[in-house]
A and B are shown apart, each in its own frame.
Chain A
């Protein structure tokens, strides 16, 4: 079992650019949640996808959007990048009756 996999591992972008991060959930999981973790802080919930729809959303602007595919994998898109978007982006997968399992994250640096 490969667990939750995220790509890329690291990414450097320039302010104003757009970025797409990818996540493949753990086998058997159908729900994907995305978190942002700034340095020295705990993960902050961005949104959750289930059955290809956004089911819940945290306090993040519309510049953050996502998608879930029929195979349950997911993408996180961030537009008009700001320096403050620099963080570790975490994907967590789950299914009914299980707790969430996290991937290793994508470290995004905005310069």
Chain B
């Protein structure tokens, strides 16, 4: 079983919809939780990162971490066609950045 499991998708929503992307994990040592966006054939782009449990908001994006349930989510409000991409969750322990464990990604398509 993988340390990080991500809802596989694909996910297709109309423009303006609220999108929910989710990951579960099994390693209690994970302390930092990240969401990356990856366009086709490109490198991942860091969207948000959160330390420990709680919520973090940045514009249309909200990241939630529930360490008691080992569950993290990314919400996208007012989704746009430009949000169409693969979203990767990633997490790591309280060590240096760079060695992270990733989910396999959820591919999102936002239709105009």
Contacts and interface: CB of A to CB of B under 8 A. Distances in A.
A40 B40 CA distance: 11
Interface in B28-86: 32, 34, 36, 41-46, 49
Interface string A78-102: 0000000000101011101011111
Interface string B1-26: 00010100000000000000000000
Contact of B43 (A48, A55, A96, A105): A105
B46 A31 contact: no
A17 B99 CA distance: 28
Contacts of B88: 42-43
A56 interface: yes
Contacts of A56: 99
A68 interface: no
Contact of A99 (B4, B6, B43, B97): B97
Most buried by A among B34, B36, B44, B45: B44
B98 A92 contact: yes
B94 interface: no
Given A31-B97, A98-B97, A43 B102 contact: yes
Interface of B: 4, 6, 32, 34, 36, 41-46, 49, 88, 90, 96-105
19 contacts: A4-B43, A6-B43, A31-B97, A41-B104, A41-B105, A42-B4, A42-B104, A42-B105, A43-B88, A44-B102, A56-B99, A92-B98, A96-B96, A99-B49, A102-B36, A102-B45, A104-B42, A105-B41, A107-B41
